[in-house]
Structure 1
Amino acid sequence: MKLTKKRYLIGFTVVVVVLSVVRAEFPQLAEARTSTSSPASISSSSAGAIAPADSLAEPKPISYQTKKHKIFSVPSFKACFPDTQSVQLAAAMKWGVKRVKNREDAEKRKSELVYVGANPYYHIDKLYSSIPYLVPRAAVLLQDVGQAFFDSLYVKGIALHRPIVTSVLRTEADVTKLRRHNGNATENSCHLYGTTFDICYNRYETVQDPDGPERRAVRNDSLKYVLCEVLRDMREQGRCYIKYEVKQGCFHMTVR
């Protein structure tokens, strides 16, 4: 007998109807088939199912241990920061602005300079013989110094302190006035070009938590050692020249 499409469909329909009747009359056969399925078929068909609670192992807590970095400072302040006035002046004349005559002239030159009077990473001291402006290149250097100082204090487990900047851009009038009582102030100062700033090494500003108890100030010597490490790295990276000033109690820095 030839199997036609019509006969195939009739036969398929009859088989489906018979199986439906058997399933309705004997439901336990279907349950038995499901319960005896192999473990492999169960795992593959229920890959997205959630495992029973008693089969889950309790996760072990992750332990994070932070090891505080030691303070090493530098072998010698003078040896690590020896850059003289002539070396720094050459860099100042290369990267700086035309010498600023007075405060009025400085007001006209702000398109060439960046205001550095407010920054979270350092504190500008009360200025008597300079104004808080630098060329952009030097402003970035100063902020990077302050930020690296913060980072170093944090990894060493020391309360945060801000370095204090004591001198920034000086006008020719400022230098003339300063030389009357400061023998180290030169007529052709690097500060005239907006490339140079001084960071005090014997005073720091403690960063207080407004919502917490008052933080105890750290010894200035400890903070000086940390600052020296930061400045040494900046100098070794070729970003600046630094002179360790004994009488002024500061690091005299010029961008390069």
Structure 2
Amino acid sequence: MGIVAVLAVVRAEFPQLAEPRIAESHVEVNADSVAAAMPHTDFSATATAKKHKIYSVPSFKACFPDTQSVQLAAAMKWGVKRVKNREDAEKRKSELVYVGANPYVHIDKLYSSIPYLVPRAAVLLQDVGQAFFDSLYVKGIALHRPIVTSVLRTEADVTKLRRHNGNATENSCHLYGTTFDICYNRYETVQDPDGPARRAVRNDSLKYVLCEVLRDMREQGRCYIKYEVKQGCFHMTVR
């Protein structure tokens, strides 16, 4: 299904995607939401589809090496003017897209960011989530959602974060609405409310599948990605 069709369906089922709701920072999306978004797709782990092998990537660091300086240049090119605080964010609704109700990814509880991205980055996140679903399906793996741990940060968020996190960058790519973090050591299992409970899949298996998806996105020239060891995430900026 093309991205235009997918976005049309998702917006029809989730009109809040187009609504500016800065105050909200966490939205739960269950299996019913996914089924509504893609009603004709069977994501069961036992679906009669030809299974593909999991290959992962040769090296996480080698495949996802994009530094802060590289990502910052893209962020400043495609992003919004730095958001000062939550009040400033309220005035910037026309520039940002709410991503908290995306059915393909799970937005973690956010303490130092808000679930908004520039449209270009919102489409990238949508495509990553959908491609991950597709890849799990063809490999015969139970459906899981990637977990997003950080999205748009205000200058106030960065200042607060730097007080207890020495690795936090003052001129963070997250300030521009172009960047999000997807953790690689946690995933959300999507349960079928009308079927048996799906067992959780090993996190390393899901990580290998996610790596394949992200490598393809990067090789298509759609994003820059840094494999963050200490933070346990893929740090991604749209390009």
* Category of TM-score, reference length = shorter chain: 0.7 to 0.9
C-alpha RMSD of matched pairs (Å): 0.7
CA shift, 1:126, in A, is: 0.1
Q: Does 1:221 align with 2:204?
A: yes
The structure 2 residue matched to 1:87, chosen from 58, 65, 70, is 70
Q: Does 1:182 align with 2:165?
A: yes
Letter of the 1:177 partner, please give it: K
Aligned match of 2:44: none
Name stretches of at least 5 consecutive residues in structure 2 with no aligned partner.
Answer: 1-47
Aligned match of 1:204: 187
Instruction: Indicate the SS of the match to 1:182.
Output: coil
Identity level (%): 97
Instruction: Indicate the SS of the match to 2:156.
Output: helix
Aligned match of 2:4: none
The structure 2 residue matched to 1:242, chosen from 198, 202, 225, is 225
Q: Does 1:140 align with 2:120?
A: no
TM-score by length of 2: 0.80
d(CA) in 2 for partners of 1:67 and 1:124? 31
The structure 1 residue matched to 2:107, chosen from 106, 124, 127, is 124
Counterpart contact for 2:49–2:140, Cα < 8 Å: no
CA deviation vs aligned residue, 1:129-165 (integer Å, no higher than 9, x gap): 0000000000000000000000000000000000000
d(CA) in 2 for partners of 1:74 and 1:114? 31
| Number of equivalenced pairs | 192
Q: Which has the larger radius of gyration?
A: 1
CA shift, 1:213, in A, is: 1.1
d(CA) in 2 for partners of 1:67 and 1:98? 47
Aligned match of 1:100: 83
d(CA) in 2 for partners of 1:121 and 1:248? 22
Aligned match of 1:41: none
More relative contact order in 1 or in 2 (CA 8 Å, sep 6+)?
Answer: 2
d(CA) in 2 for partners of 1:212 and 1:182? 43
CA shift, 1:182, in A, is: 1.1
Instruction: Indicate the SS of the match to 1:111.
Output: helix
d(CA) in 2 for partners of 1:85 and 1:200? 18
TM-score by length of 1: 0.74
CA shift, 1:117, in A, is: 0.5
d(CA) in 2 for partners of 1:232 and 1:176? 32
d(CA) in 1 for partners of 2:116 and 2:95? 10
Name stretches of at least 5 consecutive residues in structure 1 with no aligned partner.
Answer: 1-64
d(CA) in 2 for partners of 1:188 and 1:80? 24
